[in-house]
Amino acid sequence: MAIPPAVVRAARTGWHWQWLQLMNGLGPADGEGNYTRPTGAFVQRPPLPANAGTAGGHVLIVGRSCPWAHRAWLVWLLRQLEGSIELLTVEPDPEAGRWRFSQPFLGCGTLQELYQRAGADPSQRATVPVLVERASGRVVVGESARLMELLNAWPAGDSAPNLEPAEQQESLHSWRELLQGSVNDGVYRCGFARTQAAYDRAETALFDTLERAEAALSGAGPWLCGPQLTLADVQLFPTLIRLELVYGPLFGVSRRPLWQLPALWRWRQRFFQLPGVAASCCDQAWRQDYFGALFPLNPSGIVPAGPPLATLVAAQLQP
């Protein structure tokens, strides 16, 4: 039996209204429908703690599916900080919309409890990554860009790379500013856009920046700022390694597959092969958490099949 057009129109209007309410809960937007990421707690970069480098003195808390946590995790890995900073993984609780500890940590069952004990406003979201001083429970910093910088300054062994080399400072700052808005946050501006115009703006900015990165890597390379790996590369990797697996199908950013940007494809493969990086790439957790938790974007909760991670870091391009 055919559904009357009036019923279809009413259903669409009602669903669109409900979708807007759900999206407002997922992430705020401005009057033009552009997603605007809310400000978190503990966002200022502090001075290097006096006990930095002391074994067991600090804990870095990450979530496997979170790209913002992933980039702090990568700095921790690349700088070989496991001897002085413990890594602790929290698990998502999609029903409650929060991160929880698999075992109580400093007497807290959830990250929200830890944030509030450290003095955060109860209305602020508790996000990863976050660096905590174990003895006091003090949150040192909870903003990923500032945390990356702090971890790069953390005492480390002689073999640990400096990801903010002085001779590449100007290029590094420029790339980080560009990537933060148009790529790292840009995929979310696409996925969480409220209007077609807002999506179009974000999607265009995203691919314009990827094409700029392609041009840069096609020149001197082999890294974004030149001969040395920097925080700019670390900042880009978590977004690009999730591109085909999550952001393309869920956030609608599939206009140009990465194999059409061969320098970026090779760059991603090169980064993936750095020591420890592969173990930080939890592709099954990414897909389960994104498709399973973001109800307004995927109401069915069905996790679709995707390409194996191995094919995305293959030496041979596979058009």
* Residue 315, pLDDT score: 64
> pTM, whole model, 2 decimals?
0.94
Low-confidence ranges of the chain (pLDDT < 50): 318-319
Q: What pLDDT sits at residue 19?
A: 62
CATH class assigned to 167-312: mainly alpha
Q: Which amino acid is located at 16 in the chain?
A: H
Closest among 143, 132, 148 to 75, alpha carbons compared: 148
The predicted structure's pLDDT at residue 319? 46
**Domain layout of the chain by residue ranges:** 167-312
Segments of the chain assigned E as strands: 58-63, 85-93, 98-105, 108-110, 130-133, 139-141
Identify whether the C-beta of residue 251 lies closer than 8 Å to the C-beta of residue 187.
yes
Tell me how far apart the 2 most distant CA atoms of the chain are, in Å.
Answer: 74
Cis amide bond preceding 104, omega within 30: no
Assign 101 to helix, strand or coil.
Answer: strand
Strands across the sheet containing 139-141: 108-110, 98-105, 85-93, 58-63, 130-133, 139-141
What are the residues facing 131 on neighbouring strands?
60, 141
**Separation between Cα atoms, residue 78 and residue 73, nearest integer Å:** 9
Measured from the Cβ of residue 309, the count of other Cβ atoms closer than 10 Å reads 18
What pLDDT, in 10s, does the model give residues 257-306? 999 999 999 999 999 999 999 999 999 999 999 999 898 899 999 999 99
Q: Which of 158, 148, 131, 133 is nearest to 41 (CA)?
A: 131
CA atoms of 88 and 69, how far apart (whole Å): 11
Q: What is the pLDDT of residue 316?
A: 59
At 94, list the tokens. Answer: 């999609």
